[in-house]
Amino acid sequence: MAASDDQGPSLFCTSARQRTTPITRLSHPGVRDLAWALSSPTLFQPGHTPLQLMPAAAELDAWLWRLQQHPAPLEQALSQQRSHRLGVYFETLIDFFLRDFHRLQECHYGLPVRAQGHTYGEYDFLLRGYGQAALLHLELSLKFYLGIDDRHGRRHWLGLNRNDVLQQKYNKLVHQQLNLSQLPAARQQLRAMGSQVGRKIGLIKGRLFYPLREFAPEPGNKPRLRAPNGINRHHLRGWWQPISGWRALIDDKERTCLVPLQRRQWMALLHADEAQRLSQQSDHITFENQLETAEQPLMCARLQQGKTGWRERDRGVLVPDPWLDSVFEAFDQA
């Protein structure tokens, strides 16, 4: 994978030093996820960002606080999303931002390329600002990958659905999705629209999960994360651990507990009220029963109790041992 172009603020990323609104202070779940979608660092970003679309930190903060006070427009947009898949939720948040914050001259979301009854692909977004001649083609992905080593020490980056492979996703983004406008059917469609595509940008956002021993090494050892080539060095991190070793993650002395996360909780850090509620619902027996029957990796937050209550310390993925064994078998057969 090529080196990421993301070396600082990107299309939807203003640095923490620039921003005055911590995401965890936003209590409305949709607004908090929107803030995360805009402010979290990318994993990869092929293509360069037009300056016209980079949000000023002060403006973005003020807009988010207005939404916090009056979230009805965002809630209305989310109620009309095309499906309940997490990736579509992510895209709907970005679509709302582009239309409400930027108020572009053109904003096409999910525009398909069809010819003679065949669908060749679909643009995530085609955008045109006022006064711009060409359309900007934007492709988005929300991804969560586990770094798993095979028996020879080679690291593979797999999604919670093990058929989702980081290298394959990156190749598809760069060599297929971002080149959609070059197909003859797409060129014909663009001519009919009286437009052409200029700049092309791909954004992969999400989090990478490292083996627990690497993410949180023994005392006295520094973390040395084996990251993929070309990854943004500011990317979000987490841990993964086989379910059989889940007790290594909790410590009564440190007052920590593990809580499972629903898909809509995979993006932004938990708000303090949400962490408090989940901690009160936490039950070791119920949690152990859930782990015993789990067939797919389970994303969790590790909470820690402090003077002001519970907060999210970090998050990770508990992996069923049979699921992990099947991954190793696939590695051996490759």
The 3 state secondary structure assigned to 103-163 is: CCCEEEEEEEEEECCEEEEEEEEEEECCCCCCEEEEEEEEEEEEEEECCCCCEEEEECCCC
> Is the pLDDT at 4 greater than 70, yes or no?
no
Identify whether 257 is part of a domain.
Answer: yes
Structural domain contains residue 35: no
Residue 165 belongs to some domain of the structure: no
Confidence band of 218 (pLDDT split at 50, 70, 90)? confident
In the predicted model, is pLDDT for residue 300 greater than 90?
yes
Say yes or no to pLDDT of 5 above 70: no
In a domain, 185, yes or no: no
Tell me if 133 is assigned to some domain: no
Residue 302 domain boundaries: 241-333
Strands (DSSP E) contained in the chain are 42-44, 106-115, 118-128, 135-149, 155-159, 197-211, 237-242, 256-260, 298-306, 309-319
Shortest CA distance to 294 belongs to which of 253, 324, 270, 333? 324
What is the secondary structure of 48-76 as a DSSP string?
PPPGGGSPPHHHHHHHHHHHHH--HHHHH
Count, residues in the chain: 334
Q: pLDDT for 45-99, tens place per residue?
A: 887 666 567 777 888 889 999 999 999 999 999 999 988 899 999 999 999 999 9
> In whole angstroms, how far apart are CA 228 and each of 40, 172, 225?
18, 17, 9
Local structure of 1: helix, strand or coil: coil
pTM: 0.91
pLDDT digit string, tens, across residues 306-320: 988 999 999 999 999
Model pLDDT, residue 12:
53
With a CB cutoff of 8 Å and minimum separation 6, the contacts of 14 are 38, 39, 54, 55, 56, 57, 60
Q: For 187, phi and psi rounded to 5 degrees? A: -65, -40
pLDDT-above-70 percentage for the chain: 92
Residue 106 within a domain: no
Contact 309, 275 (CB under 8 A): yes
Q: How far is it, in rounded angstroms, from Cα 144 to Cα 325? A: 20
Separation between Cα atoms, residue 283 and residue 276, nearest integer Å: 13
Classify residue 281: in a domain, yes or no: yes
Residue 7 predicted with pLDDT over 70: no
Counting the structural domains of the chain, the total is 1
| Cα 226 to the center of its chain, rounded Å | 20
- Written as six digits, the tokens of 63 are 């807009």
What was the pLDDT predicted at 281?
85
Q: Please, is 235 exposed, middle or buried when counting C-beta atoms within 10 Å of its C-beta (0-12, 13-18, 19+)?
A: buried
CA–CA separation, 200 vs 47, rounded Å?
A: 6
Strand partners, 146: 158, 209
The amino acid that residue 245 corresponds to is G
* 113-117, 179-183, 218-222, 252-256: which is most confident: 179-183
CA distance 185 to 180: 9
How many other C-beta atoms can be found within 10 angstroms of the C-beta atom of residue 196? 12
Among 57, 55, 53, 42, residue whose Cα is nearest residue 6: 42
| Residue 302: inside a domain | yes
pLDDT of residue 36: 93
